Every structure is written in structure tokens, then in C-alpha cells.
Amino acid sequence: MKIRVALPEVEILEIYGDLIIGGKRYDEAKIISLETESIKSKYAIFKTSDTGKVFGRFYKRRWELVDIVDDLGSAHRLAEKIRGEYRTWIEGWGGNLKVITLKGHWIVDSPLRIRSGGKIKIKSIVVGRGFHWERKEDLVFLGDFDIYAWGKDVRAVNIIEMEDYISSVIGSEMHPDAPLEALKAQAVAARTNLIRTAQSHHPSEPFDICSEDHCQVYLGLKKVSHETLRASSETRGLILTYDGNPIEARYSKCCGGITERFSVVWGGEDPPYSTNRYDADIDKCADASSEEGFLKLIDFEDAFCNLEFKGIENLYRWRVEYDEKELNDLVRRFYDINEVKSLIPLRRGNSGRIYELKIESDKGELVLQNEFKIRRVLGKPFLPSSAFKVDKRNGKFVLVGCGWGHGVGMCQMGSIGMALKGYNYPDILKHYYPHTQLSLYAEELP
């Protein structure tokens, strides 16, 4: 079964690979030399069957003919250096697409199907958009692409076999050296999320799921390892169901000690498999929704997710300090105030996550009613979670918090902790998604 995964939109899409565009194969650009002078101006000597040797210039994102040349010796040496780098640029062109290759440029309708003989590399993809780890990476993908004109930008949609996608998501969402049983639990959660999310997150868009944190992170072949391939093949086609339907298999980095319920984060009703529980082998769950209960949770140390693993940032407990000016500046990015006087939690979920926070300011009171918004307004650019207490000391606001992410469903650090303690993936999934069943997705049945 093939699925469609959208990468973030970009102004200009830069693609490398052995490509077939509109039936023409673009590994035949016959470039025999390329010298780079600067990003905006590149020179090349290349040859085509009809024009012979040509000296060209890459200028303002298009190639233009400059002169005929004879020096083939140095041209061949330079050609060796750039072998395999067949580049194509695509940009929006008034609702259509402008495709620029070494052979010239032309305008095509959107979407444009690009097929590959093997792998396709896309340059400078934004990873972790809006988070503190935001960066740009060159990523390599299997499968074909549909390229869409997307407002002023372009957007690439990768068309890929489901299990190839899952093998990458496992390593993109979890440390690739995590124990196999944790990778397998991640495989089932990611596959379930794909099936369920494909029906709800992007209903009117021409793809099933996006490659960012909004749906689930997908970074192509770079995150595929022997172990992630094994985790996807040993759980092939398996998803979690409740009453025969795929569940909302949410997961986040670290619950902080107690998992959170769906309704606290996204509102609505809680599905039967979304409960609060200690991330530990303890049946009865404490209540951290009161201030007193939350202080007790801060001292709770025996959670599966309280561990150091392969250099993953441990945010089981964290601490952030702001002086008054810093906090005022943070809140002022969103609201018209001068000075924050106090931060008062009004409502917490059972995991301690605040979902109603009062901000008292010189211009009156504000109430933030969403854990994500609370993390955004008080973070640079995000607080790890909304499970925190606030102490005001010596003119400073000190936030001491628990966990990383929304805390609903599977705790990824906790699943690593469970696997290290010898639990297998069905145990892990049962712990985080109680009352659910492992089922074979119907599309995978013969």
C-alpha cells in the first residue's frame, strides 16, 4: 500500500537524483564540467548531442549559453567531481510550476510527477519547525514525488510504500539505538497514527499525512537502520484498535511520571484507552491535578521514563528561570501588557499539566486555556511541558516542571525504560493504550 507524505513547503525546491520528469530522464544532462564562482553565478562546460561543447553560465537560477569551448581534459576531471549530482530546481509560477534543469527551464502544470530510478535527495528541508531544535537538512527519500504549487511556495509529496515510511518514522521519532521492543512499540503506534491521522488531520489536502511534528516526523532514509527495518518487518501491518477501529495512538517524548488524558490536551471526550496512570508498574494512580498533588509528583522518581539514554535530553524534571524583563518580553510577543505580576495555575490534568493558566498583569487578567498555548507563550520558543510550578523569588520567576510534550498515550522515554527492564512490545502498548487490541490492518490482509 502506497501512502502520500507531504514535506514542508519551500520557496524553491532543489532536487538531486536520477529523475524522470514528464517521461524524460534527467541523468542525461551530459555535464562535463562545472565550476562554482558563487551561489548566484555558476559556470559550466557541458555538452549535448545536438549542440556539441557548450560553455554555459548559471545565472539567476537558470542556465544560459555563453560560448563554445574545446578544453575537454579539465572538463572531464571536473565532471568526476559532480558525478551523480543532477540537479533540478522547481519554483512556483503563478499557480503553475517552473522547472529549471541544466538543460533549460520550462513551465508545467501543478502537480508535477517526478519519478526516480532509486533515491531522490532534497536540499534544505526545515526540520522541527517552530521548536528549539529547528534546523535545515538535506534528506534522501525512496519513491516518487508529486510537486504542487502551494500559494507562493512549492510542496513536495512523497509517494512511498507504507512499511518503507514506517521504517523511517521509527528512527525519526525515536533514538535509532533504542532497544528493539521499544522500536517495535513505536512502529505500531506510528502505523496506527498514520491510518487514523490519514482520515482526520489533513482531510482536504492532497496527501495523507505531513512529515512534521504536527502529524509524525519523517526524515527519509537517513533514519532507517537495520534495527528500524527489523522493527517494522516484525510488526508488519499491525495497528492498535478499539472496538475494531484504529485508535488515536498519540505519543510524546516524556510524560514526567503520570500519563495525561486526551481531553485535557485536545478537549472533547476521553476515549476508553486514554487514562491517567503512573508510568511505572503501579496500578493505582495518584492525582497531580491539585497543587499539593503536583508537588508530590515532582518528588516521584520511580517512573520508567526517569532515565538517561544515549545522550537524549532528559527532561523528566526541568527548571527554567526568567527575570521579570525576560518574562514580560515573552508574554508581550502575544499580548498587550507591560508587566507580568503573577502566574497562577487554575486547572491541571492528572499528570500535572496546566490547561488553564491565569496571568495577572498591569493591564488586568488573562487566562490561557490550552497546554500548547501555555508552552508557547511562556517558552523560548516552547516550554518542554505545561506541568510546572511557579515560584517567584528575588525578582525571578522559577518554573520547575515535569516531562516533555503533551504526555498523552505512549511515553517514548518510558517505552525505552520498559524495554530495558525486559518488557516486550505488546506489554509496552498495553501499558500506554489499555483496553486496545493488536490487529492486522485490513489493507495488509491477502
Structural contact between residues 143 and 159, judged by C-beta atoms closer than 8 angstroms: yes
Label each residue of 165-219 as H, E or C: HHHHHHHHHCCCCCCHHHHHHHHHHHHHHHHHHCCCCCCCCCCCEECCCCCCCCC
DSSP per-residue codes, 51-119:
TEEEEEEEETTEEEEEE----HHHHHHHHHHTTT--EEEEEEETTEEEEEETTEEEEEPSSEEEEEEEE
Q: Which residue's CB is nearer to Zn ion, number 114 or number 280?
A: 280
267-286 residues near Zn ion, rule: CB under 5 A: 279
Among the listed residues 149, 215, 240, 399, the single contact to Zn ion using CB under 5 A: 215
Q: Of 227-235, 239-247, 301-309, 343-351, which segment contacts Zn ion by CB under 5 A?
A: 301-309
Distance, CA of 149 to CA of 112 (rounded, Å): 9
Q: Which residue's CB is nearer to Zn ion, number 237 or number 403?
A: 403
Provide the minimum distance between the beta carbon of 191 and Zn ion in the complex, in angstroms, as a whole number.
16
Q: Tell me the residue type at 160.
A: I
By CB under 5 A, tell whether 210 contacts Zn ion: yes
Question: Residue 234, class by beta-carbon neighbours within 10 Å (0-12 exposed, 13-18 middle, 19+ buried)?
Answer: middle
Q: Which residue's CB is nearer to Zn ion, number 214 or number 347?
A: 214
How far the first Cα of the chain sits from its last, in Å, is 12
By CB under 5 A, tell whether 201 contacts Zn ion: yes
Q: Of 110-118, 156-164, 184-192, 201-209, which segment contacts Zn ion by CB under 5 A?
A: 201-209
Among the listed residues 305, 327, 368, 410, the single contact to Zn ion using CB under 5 A: 305
Q: What are 39's three cell numbers?
A: 551561489
By CB under 5 A, tell whether 255 contacts Zn ion: yes
Provide the minimum distance between the beta carbon of 216 and Zn ion in the complex, in angstroms, as a whole number.
8
Alpha-helical regions (H) of 205-288: 226-233, 262-266
Structural contact between residues 389 and 399, judged by C-beta atoms closer than 8 angstroms: yes
State the number of binding residues for Zn ion (CB under 5 A).
9
Distance, CA of 189 to CA of 191 (rounded, Å): 6
Q: Of 199-207, 228-236, 285-293, 354-362, which segment contacts Zn ion by CB under 5 A?
A: 199-207
Q: Of 69-77, 111-119, 187-195, 203-211, which segment contacts Zn ion by CB under 5 A?
A: 203-211
- Taking residue 305's Cβ as centre, other Cβ atoms within 10 Å add up to 28
55-74 residues near Zn ion, rule: CB under 5 A: none
Among the listed residues 90, 402, 411, 416, the single contact to Zn ion using CB under 5 A: 411
Structural contact between residues 109 and 74, judged by C-beta atoms closer than 8 angstroms: no
Binding string to Zn ion for residues 116 to 155, with x set by CB under 5 A, is what?
----------------------------------------
Among the listed residues 53, 103, 115, 214, the single contact to Zn ion using CB under 5 A: 214
Residue numbers at the binding site for Zn ion (CB under 5 A): 201, 210, 214-215, 255, 279, 305, 411, 414
